[in-house]
Amino acid sequence: MSSPNDFIGIANLPNQRHKIVSRKGAHFTIMVVGESGAGKTTFINTLFAALMREYQNEDKRFQKQLERTVEIEIIRAEIEEKGFNVQLTIIDTPGFGDYVNNSDCWVPIVEFIDEQHLNYMKQERKANRRNIDDMRVHACLYFIQPTGHTLKPLDIEVMKQLGSRVNLIPVIAKADTITRADLTAFKNRILDCIKFHNINVFCPPIESDDEDTTRRNTAIANAMPYAVIGSEQDVVTPDGRRVKGRQYLWGVAEVENEEHCDFKKLRNLLIRTHMDSLISTTEEVHYEDYRANRLTKEGRTDDDPQVRARKLFDAKMKEEEEALRKRFTEQVRTEESKFRKWEQELIDERDRLNKDLEAEHSAVQALKAEIEALKSPVQSRSPRK
């Protein structure tokens, strides 16, 4: 039986962020950034293939042509499960690093991010805020090539710019091209470099009321930077499974095998376990920083009565949301424990049936032995010639 942790559950969202999900559907935006040829577009296609499979949506519109990406491209999809829906937006950006002078390559990307904050701010100021088009970036995946010793100066520069604006998640591309031991050492050097240069990266929260979740969150947090394999191809493993992966003479590098890469952990972090905290840090930290800076530039401060009223309203909404969230978390927990109990009962029943089967099997064996025993004296008693 597959464990409840094996599938992505948008239905888990009440656990995360009830208000957004039920009132207007959650807006969730992921952006990919990094050197040209790092595998960003392939990763997007792989992620969509995985999501569309999970949601039994055969829509092939999301498959992007694998050519060099030359402009910022926006792909949208709606994923829905049991009445909860998420408006998923993925932003693919042109890779950089091909030119002699790459020093300002990140400017259009950073401008795009700021523009989304500004758009949101303008819409939020309007009288009618019912249909706000929210494309603030909640997770920015930065693709690191697995070829260097550690982060390159260009990576450091771009990551600093991104980390001060959005939830930055470092990703090691093409994990199939590096050995496990080299990957571990590479990850450690990258983490040291991030620390040394004070780059702000997203830290997935670990603490939770239940032990299983804390354990799972710890595994997710410890895997950063996430090593991924991207592939649009279905390949057949030596033991006959058809999987997304890359075929080599020595075997298959599987996208969703946790022994091979961290794709599954990253996908879970984004879509399942930490969507909530990615959305809330975007709103409460990154967007707030942008808003405060912008207001200061416009010569307005939080003493402004309009700004104060807005803050008061936000605080009230947050309180309401918190109460709803608690109620929902409790409900989900009750359902979960019922489910676990039912699952345990099924396991016990299966064990009991297995034991019965074994007993029956032994009885049959005993009978067979008896028959054999009865046959042999008959044979030995047959008249000699």
- Gyration radius of the chain over CA positions: 27
CA distance from start to end of the chain? 62
Under the criterion CB under 6 A, does residue 254 sit at the interface with ligand GTP? Answer: no
Q: What residues make contact with Mg ion under the rule CB under 5 A?
A: 40-41, 69
* Residue placing its CB nearer to ligand GTP in the complex, 25 or 94: 94
| Region of 36-44, 116-124, 158-166, 237-245 interacting with ligand GTP (CB under 6 A) | 36-44
The CA-based angle 63-68-70, given to 5 degrees, is: 100
Q: Computed from CA positions of residues 44, 20, 111, 74, in that sequence, does the dihedral angle turn out positive or negative? A: positive
Instruction: Out of 90, 105, 229, 266, name the contact with ligand GTP by CB under 6 A.
Output: 229
* Residue placing its CB nearer to ligand GTP in the complex, 254 or 276: 254
Residue 234: count of CB within 10 angstroms of its CB: 10
* Residue placing its CB nearer to Mg ion in the complex, 69 or 281: 69
Amino acid at 167: N
Q: How many CA atoms are closer than 13 Å to the CA of 73, on its beta-carbon side? A: 17
The CA-based angle 326-130-57, given to 5 degrees, is: 70
Q: Which of 146, 137, 117, 126 is nearest to 253 (CA)?
A: 146
Considering only residues 138 through 197, tell me which ones interact with ligand GTP, judged by CB under 6 A.
Answer: 174, 176-177
Which residue of this chain has its Cβ atom nearest to ligand GTP in the complex? 95
* Residue placing its CB nearer to ligand GTP in the complex, 72 or 324: 72
| Region of 20-28, 65-73, 152-160, 327-335 interacting with ligand GTP (CB under 6 A) | 65-73
From Mg ion, ligand GTP, none, interface partner of 205 (C-beta below 5 to 8 A by class): none
Q: How many residues bind ligand GTP (CB under 6 A)?
A: 18
Q: How many CA atoms are closer than 13 Å to the CA of 23, on its beta-carbon side? A: 10
Q: How many CA atoms are closer than 13 Å to the CA of 303, on its beta-carbon side? A: 1
* Residue placing its CB nearer to Mg ion in the complex, 26 or 47: 47
From ligand GTP, Mg ion, none, interface partner of 159 (C-beta below 5 to 8 A by class): none
Q: Computed from CA positions of residues 244, 246, 252, 253, in that sequence, does the dihedral angle turn out positive or negative? A: negative
Least distance to ligand GTP, CB of residue 61, Å: 18
Any bridge partners for residue 254, and if so which?
245
* Residue placing its CB nearer to Mg ion in the complex, 48 or 120: 48
Instruction: Out of 7, 53, 61, 66, name the contact with ligand GTP by CB under 6 A.
Output: 66
Instruction: Out of 11, 24, 37, 206, name the contact with ligand GTP by CB under 6 A.
Output: 37
From ligand GTP, Mg ion, none, interface partner of 229 (C-beta below 5 to 8 A by class): ligand GTP
| Region of 63-71, 215-223, 318-326, 367-375 interacting with ligand GTP (CB under 6 A) | 63-71
Least distance to Mg ion, CB of residue 140, Å: 15
Considering only residues 191 through 220, tell me which ones interact with ligand GTP, judged by CB under 6 A.
Answer: none
Under the criterion CB under 6 A, does residue 230 sit at the interface with ligand GTP? Answer: yes
Residues 167 and 191: their CA atoms lie apart, in Å, by: 16
Residues 134 and 22: their CA atoms lie apart, in Å, by: 16
Which tokens is 71 given? 């402009």
Residues 195 and 192: their CA atoms lie apart, in Å, by: 5
CA 85 to chain centre: 16
Least distance to ligand GTP, CB of residue 369, Å: 57
**Which positions touch ligand GTP (CB under 6 A)?**
36-42, 66, 68-69, 94-95, 174, 176-177, 229-230, 246
